[in-house]
């Protein structure tokens, strides 16, 4: 009798757990897969240009490379002596760049995870990395308000722009490789000529600063993630704000365009991942994660999102077909 009673309650608890699991990981008809392995908050994510691999960086000082569709760990990059803060794949996908609070910028073999070489940054904290389209230069935004540019053939810094007196947390490079957009805790978004270092224009930053920037695929628009929970889109020529949304209730840590420019992805402190129509701003899809979202990226095929959270996990989200 007691055994039967215990069995009944075990089945009830198991069923409830499965239902709750489904609510969290199978929401609105799309699959969500957690990638488990890191021991610290996830600070940066990037898909390899062909979309086959996903790289994740963590406060646990490691970088992990995953098979993107299967969610299987391929290799681990070890060697940084501080929290890893930034990642970027070289356009050919063969190398992965990382930066950490140890003051180093390192390049890794993207297949084996072995370190290829390191670059002298002379900056305490590099917050964002990005490559030029030809893969010959690596750019970095720094907490010191400086933008660094390295030549990867000589492995030496070739330019150093003092952009702002405030920390820089966002950096984007236009598709033509010429215009740098960067911003942070200051009151302006700076548009700078990558070759000359001359500031071409400024845009007003959101209240609370800017944590993420992204150019549209044709380079005519710039999306801005704000500390006030806003997602704003600026047309650059002529300069005017064409969209402003306040769908998040706190700071937006990541914004990016889909490869076709039709969608904008955003996420942040509220743990909500949103997919908006890039023209109308209409929310097409939303998903709430169980922890603060610190970073996100969309796969080149537009079918998957990767989101990194404070709870040490990455999540792979497969988007519903209706919005791809």
- 11-45 residue pLDDT tens: 443 333 333 333 334 344 357 889 999 999 999 99
Asked if pLDDT for residue 197 goes beyond 80, the answer is yes
pLDDT tens-place string over residues 72-118: 999 999 999 999 999 999 999 999 999 999 889 999 999 999 999 99
Asked if pLDDT for residue 9 goes beyond 70, the answer is no
Q: CA-CA distance, 179 to 195, in Å (whole number)?
A: 9
Kindly state the tokens that stand for 227.
């500390």
Helix (H) or strand (E) holding 25: helix 2-25
pLDDT tens-place string over residues 258-288: 999 999 999 999 999 999 999 999 999 999 9
pLDDT reported for residue 16? 32
Instruction: Give me the residues paired with residue 317 across strands.
Output: 32, 305
Asked if pLDDT for residue 136 goes beyond 80, the answer is yes
pLDDT reported for residue 30? 54
- Per-residue pLDDT band for 56 (boundaries 50, 70, 90) equals very high
pLDDT reported for residue 172? 98
Buried b (16+ CB within 10 A) or exposed e, 183-199: bbbbebbbbbebeeeee
Higher pLDDT, 5 or 105: 105
Q: Top-level CATH class of 31-323? A: mainly beta
**Once rounded to an integer, what is the mean pLDDT over residues 295-313?**
93
Full-prediction pTM beyond 0.75? Answer: yes
């Amino acid at each position: 009798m007691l055994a039967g009673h215990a069995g009944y309650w075990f089945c009830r608890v198991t069923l409830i757990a499965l239902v709750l699991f489904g609510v969290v990981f199978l929401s609105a008809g799309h699959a969500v897969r957690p990638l488990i392995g890191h021991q610290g908050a996830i600070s940066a994510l990037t898909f390899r240009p062909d979309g086959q691999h996903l790289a994740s960086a963590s406060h646990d000082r490691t970088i992990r490379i995953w098979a993107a569709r299967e969610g299987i760990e391929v290799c681990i990059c070890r060697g940084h002596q501080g929290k890893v803060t930034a990642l970027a794949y070289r356009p050919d996908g063969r190398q992965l760049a990382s930066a950490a609070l140890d003051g180093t910028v390192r390049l890794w073999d993207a297949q084996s995870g072995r370190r290829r070489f390191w670059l002298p940054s002379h900056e305490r904290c590099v917050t964002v990395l990005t490559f030029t389209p030809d893969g010959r230069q690596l750019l970095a935004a720094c907490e010191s308000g400086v933008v660094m540019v390295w030549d990867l053939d000589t492995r030496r810094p070739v330019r150093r722009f003092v952009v702002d007196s405030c920390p820089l947390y966002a950096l984007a490079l236009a598709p033509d490789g010429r215009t740098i957009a960067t911003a942070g805790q200051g009151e302006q978004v700076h548009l700078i000529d990558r070759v000359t270092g001359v500031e071409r224009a400024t845009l007003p930053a959101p209240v609370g600063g800017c944590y993420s920037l992204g150019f549209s695929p044709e380079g005519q628009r710039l999306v801005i993630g704000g500390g006030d929970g806003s997602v704003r889109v600026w047309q650059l020529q002529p300069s005017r704000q064409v969209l402003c949304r306040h769908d998040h209730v706190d700071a937006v840590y990541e914004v990016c365009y889909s490869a076709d420019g039709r969608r904008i992805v955003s996420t942040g402190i509220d743990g909500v991942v949103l997919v908006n129509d890039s023209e109308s701003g209409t929310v097409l899809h939303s998903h709430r994660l169980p922890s603060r979202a610190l970073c996100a990226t969309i796969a080149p095929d537009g079918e998957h999102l990767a989101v990194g959270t404070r709870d040490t996990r990455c999540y792979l989200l497969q988007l519903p077909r209706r919005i791809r």
